[in-house]
Amino acid sequence: MTILSSLGRASRSAPLASKLLLLGTLSGGSLVAYSDSNKKEEEQKQKKKKKKVVVLGTGWAGISFLKDLDISSYDVQVVSPQNYFAFTPLLPSVTCGTVEARSIVESVRNITKKKNGEIELWEADCVKIDPANNKVLCQPVFKDDPEASQEFSLEYDYLIIAVGAQVNTFGTPGVLENCHFLKEVEDAQRIRRGVIDCFEKAVLPGLTEEQRRTKLHFVIVGGGPTGVEFAAELHDFIEEDITKIYPSVKELVKITLIQSGDHILNSFDERISSFAEQKFLRDGIDVLMGMRVMSVSNKDISVKIKSSGEVVSLPHGLILWSTGVGTRPVISDLMEQVGQGGRRVLATNEWLQVKGCENVYAVGDCASIAQRKIMGDIANIFKAADVDNSGTLTEEELQDVVEDINVRYPQVELYLKSKHVRSIKDLLTDSEGNPKKEVDIKAFESALSGVDSQMKSLPATAQVAAQQGSYLAKCFNKMEHCKEHPEGPKRFRTGGHHQFRPFQYKHFGQFAPLGGDQAAAELPGDWVSAGRSTQWLWYSVYASKQVSWRTRALVVSDWTRRYIFGRDSSRI
């Protein structure tokens, strides 16, 4: 006690350096603890200063945003019903065991753990968005645990909505109760078990041949990429693996693809659509086009032939419904709040900002860009370009705004391509085709009058969602810098410049695997390819696009295993 009192008196009279030395002498860990305490306090203060970013969803858009975001500048919280990212283009391969489910998923925590900072992940569904109070209400997915299923709310400074879309049944009776879907990994696993079940039921004793045929009739509704790829995968699975195990029912299997339009793969080049239809015809896949599904029961599916109006009934063993996407309830509710009621998806501006909300952004399948029409701004563009207020534009004045026009209105570039010209100036010519030295507003308006006809909505694909997520992350990374140094095009209405360049989608092509080691590809430059070589191109592209080296190795090993040993037909 005397020693401690003496040390106390000595410390009070000693200078600061001596006090620290004395503290370190008494206990080597005390100085470290004191330092760590200060460090934690500083980290908490810094965290409070950071803007809160809440991300809803871990699909293509959400993961692309998280991967490219500099989280050292933000306090990031993620809400998603799954704690993993799934490479959805390979879901049709999972349904038949060509690729295992574990091979195409990666933990979100693994993806984000290498970031310079911490991302908090909550495994829950967002059930309500409150833009007026900057809050989201969430429901944990653990409904069987009362303690872990209590709703909670999160506040945000910025909200990123990347929840995707749900299956669109178009209100068709019986679809939800009797059809399979292919949006999630769990869907693919259920389909895989369902296919095996159909064969196991068909070989049971006591069934008539007609009953066996019904059990082995696989129906796919929707002739888009997902439906076509599943039909191709299923055909290969049956031909290469299943019939060897169930030889007694080999001749009873039937695959039917129902399409409401006149062609399958109608979003592709017509040459690819024709190739796919001929390939399916050779493979024995029955393609029924120009038909609309009226209702579905557990035994049959009723379809209406558009040309004659006749309604026919088809017995089935398993149905896959793949006819597009619909709006999630939380998005419908938000649209009502922000004055977008009645729409199919959220409307955003060219910077992916939800219209009616300054700090809410939407990316992926749940949103669509409402592109601004150039004809609505034509007078303001002309006025901004007419620097000397002469009422006409010279070549120099026009040149000063051409780049801003191309960036602000992406439909201009599409229009120029359709006219086979390089620049807006090439549209401003006289009767002999020579460039005009000066143009008035009528000539300017006339030259650009057809531009808005090229406005198109972006497709609901993984490619679009990934590019949007990456673009938005880059905007967030340079948000503070661009407030003082804007990099966007001119504001023709109010003057100045936009903070960022608007989002511009770059199409890198699309693939359609057609089975039998054949695929079709539509690539930029109007290049179309189909056949076995295209299948190997598909392999290389999809392997390179995997989110991690782990999934890349697993997917390639699954493809190799399938070539050597075939697909696994166990019901697991």
Residues in contact with 390: Cβ distance below 8 Å, sequence separation at least 6, in sequence order: none
Query: Domain holding 355: CATH number?
Result: 3.50.50.100
The answer as to whether 337 is a domain residue is yes
The length of the chain is: 572
In this structure, the answer to whether residues 98 and 68 fall within a common structural domain is yes
Sheet of 518-523: strands edge to edge? 510-515, 518-523, 527-531
Report the amino acid identity of residue 394.
Answer: T
In this structure, the answer to whether residues 450 and 460 fall within a common structural domain is no
* Span 165-184, pLDDT tens digits: 999 999 999 999 999 999 99
In this structure, the answer to whether residues 449 and 464 fall within a common structural domain is no
Please choose, from the candidates 531, 534, 468, the residue with its C-alpha nearest in 3D space to the C-alpha of residue 504: 468
Is there a contact between 202 and 249 (Cβ–Cβ < 8 Å)?
Answer: yes
**Cβ count within 10 A of residue 58:** 29
* Span 15-68, pLDDT tens digits: 444 443 333 433 444 444 445 556 556 555 555 589 999 999 999 999 999 999
Please choose, from the candidates 63, 64, 54, 70, the residue with its C-alpha nearest in 3D space to the C-alpha of residue 503: 64
Q: Which tokens is 73 given?
A: 């500048």
Is there a contact between 124 and 139 (Cβ–Cβ < 8 Å)?
Answer: yes
In this structure, the answer to whether residues 220 and 84 fall within a common structural domain is no
Rounded-to-integer distance, Cα 218 and Cα 255, Å: 5
Are β-strands 360-362 and 291-296 bridged in parallel, bridged antiparallel, or unpaired?
unpaired
The answer as to whether 173 is a domain residue is no
In this structure, the answer to whether residues 224 and 303 fall within a common structural domain is yes
In this structure, the answer to whether residues 335 and 474 fall within a common structural domain is yes
In this structure, the answer to whether residues 186 and 315 fall within a common structural domain is yes
Residue 426: per-residue pLDDT? 82
Q: Could you write out the DSSP letters of every residue in 124-159?
A: EEEEEEETTTTEEEEEES-TT-GGG---EEEE-SEE
Q: What is the DSSP letter of 515?
A: E
Please choose, from the candidates 319, 292, 323, the residue with its C-alpha nearest in 3D space to the C-alpha of residue 225: 323
* Residue 295 C-alpha from the chain's centroid: 30
In this structure, the answer to whether residues 474 and 359 fall within a common structural domain is yes
Q: What is the DSSP letter of 242?
A: I
Counted domains in the chain: 3
The answer as to whether 23 is a domain residue is no
Q: In 69-200, which ranges are E strands? A: 74-80, 84-86, 105-107, 119-130, 135-140, 152-155, 158-161, 166-167
Q: Which tokens is 37 given?
A: 């305490």
Our CA angle for 553, 182, 247, nearest 5°, is 80
The answer as to whether 572 is a domain residue is no
Q: What is the DSSP letter of 216?
A: T
The answer as to whether 537 is a domain residue is yes
Residue 422: per-residue pLDDT? 86
The number of CA neighbours under 13 Å toward the Cβ of 423 is: 13
The answer as to whether 18 is a domain residue is no
Is there a contact between 313 and 320 (Cβ–Cβ < 8 Å)?
Answer: no
**HEC per residue, 455-484:** CCCCCCCHHHHHHHHHHHHHHHHCHHHHHH
Rounded-to-integer distance, Cα 385 and Cα 105, Å: 52
The answer as to whether 560 is a domain residue is no
CA distances, 303 to each of 258, 293, 310, 316 (Å): 9, 4, 8, 13
Residue 6: per-residue pLDDT? 47
Query: Domain holding 386: CATH number?
Result: 1.10.238
- Structural domain range at position 390: 374-454
Residue 424: per-residue pLDDT? 87
**HEC per residue, 312-371:** EEEECCEEEECCCEECCHHHHHHHHHCCCCCCCCEEECCCCEECCCCCEEECHHHEEECC
pLDDT tens track, the chain, 572 positions: 444 444 444 444 444 444 433 334 334 444 444 455 565 565 555 555 899 999 999 999 999 999 999 988 899 999 999 999 999 999 999 999 999 999 999 999 999 886 667 899 999 999 999 999 999 999 999 989 989 999 999 999 999 999 999 999 999 999 999 999 999 999 999 999 999 999 999 999 999 999 999 999 999 999 999 999 999 999 999 999 999 999 999 999 999 999 999 999 998 999 999 999 999 999 999 999 999 999 999 999 999 999 999 999 999 999 999 998 899 999 999 999 999 998 999 999 999 999 999 899 999 999 999 999 999 999 999 999 999 999 998 888 888 999 999 999 999 988 998 888 888 888 887 767 777 888 899 989 988 999 998 888 899 999 999 999 999 999 999 999 999 999 999 999 888 999 999 999 999 999 999 999 999 999 988 899 999 999 999 999 999 999 999 999 999 999 999 999 999 988 77
Rounded-to-integer distance, Cα 63 and Cα 154, Å: 20
Is there a contact between 216 and 256 (Cβ–Cβ < 8 Å)?
Answer: no
In this structure, the answer to whether residues 293 and 257 fall within a common structural domain is yes
Backbone angles phi, psi at 318, to 5 degrees: -155, 140
The answer as to whether 79 is a domain residue is yes
Long-range contacts, stretch 550-554, CB < 8 angstroms, 24+ apart:
550/106, 551/87, 551/103, 551/104, 551/105, 551/106, 554/100, 554/102, 554/103
In this structure, the answer to whether residues 156 and 81 fall within a common structural domain is yes
In this structure, the answer to whether residues 111 and 241 fall within a common structural domain is no
In this structure, the answer to whether residues 256 and 357 fall within a common structural domain is no
Determine which helix (DSSP H) or strand (DSSP E) holds 24, and give its type and residue range. Answer: helix 16-26
Backbone angles phi, psi at 314, to 5 degrees: -120, 120
Please choose, from the candidates 258, 170, 249, the residue with its C-alpha nearest in 3D space to the C-alpha of residue 215: 249
